[in-house]
Amino acid sequence: MTTADFKTGPAAAAWLPRWSELAAARAAKAGEPAWALEQRRQAATLAESMPFPDRRLELWRRTDFGSLALEGLEPFAAGVRARTLDDLPAPLLERLASESQGGMALVVQRGAEVVLEQTHPALARRGVIVCSMERALREHADKLETRLGSLIETDLDQFTALQRAMRSGGAFVWVPDGVEAEVPIRLFQWLDRPGIASAPASVVVLGQGSRATVIEEMLSETAEGAAFFNGSTEVFVGEDAKLIYATLQDWGRNVFHYSNQRARVGRGVRWQTATPRHRPHLCFLRTGKSAVAAQQRPG
């Protein structure tokens, strides 16, 4: 990566409207509610009016995306659907081996699409929801309307606005009041190849006095040519709940990573996060003031 200054808005004019139109058409076909489509439209308009972040800004002084040519990437790369775990790539199966006996809930995304969703009977019986964001917007829109996009400012920068406009994939986790999720919830992002952009959005909601462990892993192998991950995670934790949330990034060296992680937490919350990573990335995490929080960032 170079240390050149970022490109600014005019260079993006040719491809942004095309990407936005494609995103809106895909979302309408998938049955997204009107409020989610309007959210996309507003974000696309904002993204087209904003410049790329400038290295003169404090948050970007030590992060260089100047060599990332977004116009050359494929924004909605189709993933290979998986009927069972055996259809997943070998690196993912290796990560899942430790959970094969005890069980888990699972959402796997490849490129721009969720290719496998598996809940667990013990969770389903207690009203826990673990599914793709696309399914959640069709079947649980009432739980998302006041939450999706509420913690992250669309105008934070152009990458944030672009992520909201291009949103594809991601997961939805819902744990009702007083329920303990007895098995871990595993979320995977896998980039199959270079030349693609991925923009998942995930929402995790724990009710009052609930318990859950959520492990999110972002993986790829190093390849020739850039790939871009532009994600968001919004977490809502009710009073006296306990959430263990781990994020592991093991990207190939060709992957540019940008993400926003925000949390709103109630009183008495026990909130523990761990974010081991294998290479530099840009990730913003913000939590409320009333949590008992422990964050681990091993090198």
Q: What pLDDT shows up at residue 287?
A: 44
Whether residue 119 contacts residue 107, with contact meaning beta carbons closer than 8 Å, is answered with no
Cross-strand bridge partners of residue 237: 206, 265
Lowest mean pLDDT among 54-68, 96-110, 155-169, 233-247: 54-68
Q: Could you read off the pLDDT of 243-280 as tens digits, one per residue? A: 999 898 999 999 999 999 999 988 876 655 555 554 43
Q: How far apart are the first and last CA of the chain?
A: 21
Whether residue 88 contacts residue 39, with contact meaning beta carbons closer than 8 Å, is answered with no
Residue 156 has pLDDT above 70, yes or no: yes
Considering the chain, what is the average pLDDT of its residues? 85
One-letter amino acid for residue 79 of the chain: G
Higher pLDDT pick, 80 / 74: 74
Whether residue 42 contacts residue 24, with contact meaning beta carbons closer than 8 Å, is answered with no
Lowest mean pLDDT among 157-161, 166-170, 182-186, 284-288: 284-288
CB neighbourhood size of 182 (10 A): 16
Q: Quickly state the pLDDT bin for 13 (edges 50, 70, 90).
A: low
Q: What is the mean pLDDT of residues 122-134?
A: 97
Q: What pLDDT shows up at residue 163?
A: 96
Instruction: Please provide the size of the chain in residues.
Output: 299
Whether residue 69 contacts residue 1, with contact meaning beta carbons closer than 8 Å, is answered with no
Q: What is the mean pLDDT of residues 114-126?
A: 95
List the one residue out of 283, 175, 296 whose CA is nearest residue 232. 283
Domain locations along the chain: 9-296
Q: Quickly state the pLDDT bin for 16 (edges 50, 70, 90).
A: confident
For the chain, helix (H) and strand (E) counts, in that order, are 7, 14
